[in-house]
Structures are given as structure tokens and as C-alpha cells.
Amino acid sequence: MKISRFRTAVLALLCGTPLLHADILMLKNGTKVEGTILEQNDQGVKMRYRLTPKIMDEKIFPMADIDKVVKQTPQEVEVIELRKLLPTPNLLKADAYEQIIQDRLRPFVNKYPGTPEAQEVEAMIAKFQEEKSMVSNGQLKHEGRWLSPKEYKAEQWNIEAYLILASLREKTAKQDYVGALREFDRMMMPAPAYKGSTYFVQAIPEAITALEKWITSLDKMSAEQAQLDQARKEGLKKLQEPELSKTKNAISDEYNKWRAAYDAERRQKLRWTAPYKYDLPSIQTAQKEAVQELTRLQTLNMEELRTNNEIFTACYRKIGEGDYLGGAAAFERAQALNLQVEYRDIPMDLRARLLKLHAQLSRAAATGAATSGSTAMGGVAATGQDSRVAQILAEAGAAPAAAATGQPAAAATAPAATTTTTTTTTAPAAAVVQQPVQRPVAPVAQQPVPQAPVPPMPLPAPVPVVEESNTSLYIMIGMGVVIVGLLLAFLKKK
């Protein structure tokens, strides 16, 4: 048994695969050591264990220090990793569920049939299949909560912000601080991007953490730059031809590739770029930008920002649902906020989205009125008309029209009543049968769109920031004219 374990350890090491933690030593001081037992006798236990995530070590633990030795079977070891698959991740697609079942869970059951661990994994398969069925029916899991198709449509904009936040966290964990900060910039640019999302508030502390670690890394690079540069120069002095020329060419190629990529990223207006460890100016530029951004984020009023973004997100959610009236009400609350300049583009974006929704619903309402018996989406009888479209038709069509003409709202049904009377006069015996057939056609003939246009629904009020931007433009133009005039007068005098 000892020889078999040793061979397994050697093979795993030669193949470059990580060793599974098959055995556990419970020490008397409370420490738990996981690894593979290579030898065991009355004096102690020799174990191969993971000293760091990438370094394996062997050590003899005296029996006097060991409280308990736990040896695990292969299935007990493998099932530990499978248990990490639950709960399932957010926003998982149906094909991803199936891939996990076929690639991870089903092979384990086939490998260890009849074991308690196999029964546990069978229950996991059933759970995955249940959730896969829910996803196939249009539902989606987000932050542990299942969203219906309608809820997902309403939350789609906010979910996009959540995905950016998840990518920011992932890249920070991998120490890709430039990538993490670029993800944070996606929250803000192109403006307004996702600055109005509740996840933007959550992204700020994550960005601060990434910035602090990035600044620490840059400080280290700055401190080591002179030493590295000197060491490289000393190394070149020791080389002889042709190695000297080859090394210089390699150094030049490395620098030119970095400079080309660095300049290209700057032209694309990417704020965060990786400096060259031998180039002190690029390191100092990165330090300056990181410190400036860290200072800006640390001075934000997080409570105020959180309150404002909850109002913004509620408005985005109503627009996503297609609820114009609810969105307009939420927009009024958003427009009443006292916002800093950098966040005033959010109400402008909300207003643009409301106008787009207004146009869509107006076209849908006009289509429903033209067909007189189908909803804005078409194909549904008038008796089953969508309640939201009916409400918009009632508030934006019949009520304003009646108020404008000074006639009661019942006048809107007058064309249908006239058609019924005419039909009864010309064909009394068939009146009851023909009324339902002719009633949908009557509004098209009696109320043509050019003669009686439906007054539009109330549009969201314009955002004052537009006027402020025009005023600033006029001031800048005036200052430019004055400067040019002074320059010409100076040249003429000279």
C-alpha cells in the first residue's frame, strides 16, 4: 500500500498534475494538513503536501503531534471538488448545464457506481437538470434569484452592469489590475454607460482595492527601475560578439513592441496601460493617474450615490418593462435630484430611452386602433387586449380628444352606434348576426388618422443640462474671438 501511494505521488509529479488531497492529519494544535501519506509507523507519518499553491513538500510529522489520521478513498477525494459546483453560478445557460452534467457529474457516477458519493452526485444531476429545464423555459438565475422572462427583460440593463462588476472582481483576483480598472471604466464610458446602476456603487470599492494594489505594484517598479537598468547595462558589458549584438537587438525589439502597443492604447484613449519596467516616465505616468483616480473615488459621497442610483435603476427597470407611465413617474423623481455635473448625463439618457419607448408604444397604439380588434403586438382579439396598451389608449387618446372637442368621452363610441343603426335599418333580420362583424371596420372609416390625430402621451421634460452645455459653448467661442482679436492687434502694432 505504501509503495502504491509512493508511485502515485511520483507519477503525479512527473506528469505535472496536481496531487489530490487523499489523506488528512489532524494535529493536536488544531492544524489540519491535507496531502498524501507516503509512510506511516509508530514514530510518525511522512506526508507529501502542498506548501504553497505551486510548491509541494514532504515532511515527517511525529506521532506525538498527531491527534487523528484520516485516510480518504478516491471517490471521497473527487467528490470534494464536485460539491463546489453547487450552488450553480448566476446567468448559466442551458448548454452550460448540460456540459457540466456530461463532463463532470455523469463520469463520476459511472466510475463509482453504488457508492454513497455516487448517490450524492446523482442528486446533483437531478438538481442541474431541474435548473436546466427552468432556463430552457426562459427563466434566468441572477444572484440566487430566479427571474421570469418579463423580469429578465426589465433587469437586462442592470444585469449588463453586474457582468462588468463580475469581470472586474475576477481580474483583480488574478492580479490583472490594468484589466480590472478598464472594466471599471466600462461602467462610466461612453457616458453615461452604467453610472446609474446599483452595481456601479458596488464597483467603486472594488476599483479602490484594485487601485491600491496597482499603486503598490507601481511603487515597487519605480524603486527597482534604476537597479534593473544598471544590472542590464552591466550584463551587456560582459557579453562578446555576436551575443552582444543579438542581445541588444532583442532589447530593442522588446522596447519597440511595448512602445507601439503603449502608443496605440493611448490613441484609443485608454486610461490604464501597462508601463515598461525599464521606462521610468511610463511608470511615473501610471502612478500619477492611479493616485488621481484613487483620490477622486475616495472623496465620493457613497450614501448619496447609493440613494440616487436606486432611483435611476427603478426608472431603467420601468423602461425595460415597457411601462411608460411608471417610467415617467420615476423620471420625475430622478430629474428632481441635485446631481453633480459628472452624473447629469444619466437623466438625459433616461429621457432618451423614455422618448424611444413613447414612440414604440404610440406606433403600437396606432396599429391597434387601425386594426380595431388587435393589440399593439397584433393578433389578439380586442376582448383580450393588453391592459397597458388599453390604459395608454384611454389616457393618451380618448380622454384628451374628448377634452379638446368639449364633448363627453362617450362620443368616441358614436361611430360604432351609427353603424349599428344603419345596419338595423337596411337588414333588420340579420342585424344581430352582422353587428359583431361590422363593428371592427367602422372606426377605420369614421375616424381616419389624418382627420382626428391621437394627441401624444406626455413627453418627459427636457433636462436643463443641455442649456448649460450650450452656454458654455458660447462662452468658449467668445473667449476664442477675443484672443484672436488681441493677437491680431499685437501683430499689427509690432
Per-residue model confidence as pLDDT tens digits over 416-452: 333 333 333 333 333 333 444 334 333 343 444 444 4
Which of these three, 18, 44, 72, is where a domain ends? 72
Report H helices in 174-242. 177-186, 198-237
Residues 339 and 226 in one domain: no
For residue 71, what pLDDT is reported?
83
Which of these three, 300, 315, 342, is where a domain ends? 300
Evaluate if residue 467 carries a pLDDT over 80: no
Q: What is the CATH number of the domain that holds 18?
A: 2.30.30.100
Residues 155 and 255 in one domain: yes
Residues 87 and 200 in one domain: no
Q: What are the pLDDT digits (tens) for 471-482?
A: 677 788 888 888
What is the distance between the alpha carbons of residues 430 and 437, in angstroms, rounded to a whole number?
Answer: 11
pLDDT-derived band at 392 (thresholds 50, 70, 90) equals very low
| 272, 211 Cβ separation under 8 angstroms | no
Q: Contacts by 266-274 with C-beta closer than 8 Å and gap 24+?
A: 270/182, 270/185, 271/181, 271/182, 271/185, 272/177, 272/178, 272/181, 272/182, 272/185, 273/178, 274/178
For residue 369, what pLDDT is reported?
66
For residue 370, what pLDDT is reported?
65
**pLDDT top residue among 394 and 384:** 394
In a domain, 161, yes or no: yes
Residues 32 and 62 in one domain: yes
Give the CA diameter of the chain.
Answer: 115
Lowest mean pLDDT among 320-324, 369-373, 442-446: 442-446
Evaluate if residue 373 carries a pLDDT over 90: no
Distances (CA, A) of 454 to 87, 331, 420, 457: 52, 24, 24, 9
For residue 465, what pLDDT is reported?
45
Mean pLDDT score of the chain, rounded to an integer?
80
Express as a percent the part of the chain with pLDDT over 90: 58
Q: What are the pLDDT digits (tens) for 242-279?
A: 999 999 999 999 999 999 999 999 999 899 999 999 99
What is the distance between the alpha carbons of residues 156 and 318, in angstroms, rounded to a whole number?
Answer: 11
Residues 206 and 225 in one domain: yes
pLDDT-derived band at 371 (thresholds 50, 70, 90) equals low
Evaluate if residue 3 carries a pLDDT over 70: no
Evaluate if residue 12 carries a pLDDT over 80: no
Q: Among 6-10, 315-319, 374-378, which range has the highest average pLDDT?
A: 315-319
Evaluate if residue 165 carries a pLDDT over 90: yes
Q: How many residues does the chain have?
A: 494
Residues 234 and 366 in one domain: no
What is the distance between the alpha carbons of residues 219 and 108, in angstroms, rounded to a whole number?
Answer: 48
For residue 252, what pLDDT is reported?
94
For residue 477, what pLDDT is reported?
83
Evaluate if residue 400 carries a pLDDT over 70: no
Lowest mean pLDDT among 288-292, 366-370, 466-470: 466-470
For residue 456, what pLDDT is reported?
53
Residues 164 and 293 in one domain: yes
In a domain, 420, yes or no: no
Residues 278 and 156 in one domain: yes
What is the domain range of residue 232? Answer: 151-300
Evaluate if residue 286 carries a pLDDT over 70: yes
In a domain, 276, yes or no: yes
For residue 365, what pLDDT is reported?
86
What number is the average pLDDT over the span 214-219?
A: 96
For residue 462, what pLDDT is reported?
59
Which of these three, 300, 326, 354, is where a domain ends? 300
For residue 404, what pLDDT is reported?
37
pLDDT-derived band at 124 (thresholds 50, 70, 90) equals very high
What is the distance between the alpha carbons of residues 93 and 135, in angstroms, rounded to a whole number?
Answer: 7
Q: What are the pLDDT digits (tens) for 66-109?
A: 998 888 888 988 998 999 999 999 999 999 999 999 999 999 99
Concatenate the DSSP letters of all residues of 431-476 into one string. HHHHHHHHTTTHHHHHS-TTTSPPPPPPPPPPPTHHHHHHHHHHHH
What is the distance between the alpha carbons of residues 424 and 185, in angstroms, rounded to a whole number?
Answer: 70
Q: What are the pLDDT digits (tens) for 178-205?
A: 999 999 999 999 888 999 999 999 999 9
In a domain, 442, yes or no: no
Residues 344 and 395 in one domain: yes
* Count of domains observed in the chain: 4
- Classify each residue of 28-56 as buried b or exposed e, where b means 16 or more C-beta atoms within 10 Å of its C-beta: eeeeebbbbbbebeeebbbbbbeeeeeeb
In a domain, 463, yes or no: no
In a domain, 482, yes or no: no
Residues 199 and 267 in one domain: yes
Residues 212 and 347 in one domain: no
Angle CA 386–392–395, to nearest 5 = 135
Residues 343 and 278 in one domain: no
Which residue type, as a one-letter code, is found at position 235? G
Identify the helix (H) or strand (E) that includes residue 53: none
457 in the Ramachandran plot: left (φ > 0), alpha (ψ -120 to 50) or beta? beta
